[in-house]
Amino acid sequence: MIIVDAALKKREAVGCPVTVAIVGAGTQAKAIARTIEIATPGMRVVAVANRTRANGEAVFTELGLDPVWCTDAPSLETAIASGACAVTNDPQLLAEVSGIDAVIEATGSMEYAARAALAAIEGGKHLIQVNAELDGTIGPILKMKADKARVVYTAGDGDQPGVMMNLVRFMEGIGVRPVLCGSIKGLYDPYRTPDTQVAFAQKWGLDPAMAASFADGTKISFEQTVIANGTGMKVARRGMIGPDFSDGNPYAPLIPLEETTSAFAAHLDAHLAAGGPGIVDYVIGARPGPGVFVIGTMEDSRQRHFLNYYKMGSGPYYCFYTPFHLCHFEVPGSVARAVLFGDATLTPRAGPSVGVIALAKKDLVSGDVIDSLGGFECYGMIENIEIIRKKNLIPLGLAVGGRVKRSISKDQPLTFADVELPEKRTIDRLYAEQEGVFGASLMSGDAVYDFS
C-alpha cells in the first residue's frame, strides 16, 4: 500500500486523478465514495449509476457535492469532462464514455450487476467487484472477458477474500505454502430470515435480506468461493467444516485463533496426502475477530527453525492472520492497484473450483419464487464444482428470481430441473458460457439446459 499511496499522491500533484464510477448507491457504495472523497488523494468518483435517481444523487449530496443528472452518453461525457459529479440510471452509459478509468460494482444484485459488469468490461474499464455473490457465480467468465479486453477484473480489498489473498501473497513471498484460507465468524444459522434480522438490519442501515444472508451461511459461502476460485482451493466437505468453539453459546469465552488450527489438522493431512491444493473454511468463536486467517506449511527445515524462533510455533502448520477486514475503507487501494499497476487484488485463477448451491430453507412447493439472497426460500452452501456438475445442482446466484417447479423438502439442494428461470437473463447466458469454456454440459438425465 505504500507504493500505491505514493503513486496516488503523484497523480494528485500533477492534477491527473484516477477516475472512478460506482454502480449502486447503497451503504457500501456511499461508504466507498466517502472514503475516496475524504481520504484518497489522487482519486475521484466522477459518476454514479443507480436505478433510483434520488439515491444515486445522495451519494454526492451527502458529501456536500452537487451532482448533475445525465440521461445519455453525450451529457454524461460532458459532465465528467467539466469536472462535475454525474449521476445516471443506466450503467451501460458508464461503459460508453471516456473519462472513467475504473468501475466499482457495488449493488449486491445479480442480474442487474451482471449486465453492468459485462458492459464495463466490454467498454474497456477496469472492474472492481464489491459483489462476492456475482463474483462467486460468474467471476471466471468475467475474468476471461476482462483479459481479452486488456483490463483488470478484481475483487475489492477489505472484504474477507481480498484480505485473505493479501495474506496468501505475503506467505508465498516468504516461502510458506498456503493450504487453508479461513474466515472468523460469530454466528451461523441457516434458517435465519429477513424477519429474524430486522433489528440488526435497522441498527446498521442494511437490507434485512442482506443481513439474513450474513447469518444463514450464504455470504460466507460466496466469500469463500471467491478466494477458492482465486487460489484453486477446494472444500473438505459441502458447507465446510466450520468448527464452533463457542458450542453454540454466543457468550462463551473466545479462544486464541492459533489454538483452533488443530481442528483442521486431520482434514488437511488427508487432503494434502491425496494431492489436494488446499481448502477454504471458517471458525466460530475464535479471536481476534472478525478477521481472516491463512494456514500454511514450510518445507525447508531451517526455515521451520526460524519460524519457531519467531514465535510461529513448531509446525507443521503455521497460522497467519489479519484481525480485521475494513471493507469499504480498503477498496480504493484495489482501484489504484488495478489502474496504476495492472494488479488484481484477487481474481479467478481459471475456471471455478467451487460454487454456491441453493438449498431449501423450508419445505418449498410448486410456485414458490426464490425472491432474494438471504430470503425466506433458500440458503447458500459452498460445494466443489465437480459435484455441482455431476448432480446438476443449481447455483444460488442463478436460482434467485426463479420459480420452484415441484415440492422440495427442507435442506434439500435444488437442481436445474427444480427451478423455472426467467427468460433471456444475462447472468444465465454468462454462466452457460462459463461452463462451456471450463466445464461439462449441464445435464439432467437426457435433458440439456440451454440458457442462450
* Residues contacting residue 297 through CB under 8 Å, at least 6 positions apart: 176, 177, 179, 272, 315, 316, 317, 318
pLDDT in tens, 127-139: 999 999 999 999 9
Provide mean pLDDT across the span 96-112.
Answer: 96
Question: For a pLDDT cut of 90, what percent of the chain falls above it?
Answer: 90
DSSP assignment, residue 287? Answer: E
* Cα distances (angstroms) measured from residue 414 to each of 148, 370, 419: 34, 11, 8
pLDDT number for residue 287: 87
pTM above 0.85, yes or no: yes
* Cα distances (angstroms) measured from residue 93 to each of 48, 105, 114, 149: 10, 14, 15, 18
pLDDT in tens, 297-335: 999 999 999 999 999 999 999 999 999 999 999 999 999
What domains appear along the chain, each with residue ranges and CATH number? Answer: 2-159+328-341 (3.40.50.720), 160-324 (no CATH), 354-448 (3.90.1210.10)
pLDDT number for residue 254: 82
pLDDT in tens, 202-257: 998 889 999 999 999 999 999 999 999 999 999 999 999 999 988 777 777 788 98
| Positions of E strands within 209-347 | 255-256, 279-284, 286-287, 291-297, 318-322
pLDDT in tens, 267-292: 999 999 999 999 999 999 998 888 99
- Mean pLDDT score of the chain, rounded to an integer? 94
pLDDT in tens, 172-214: 999 999 999 999 998 899 999 999 999 999 998 889 999 999 9
**Residue 2: band (very low, low, confident or very high) from pLDDT cuts 50, 70, 90:** low
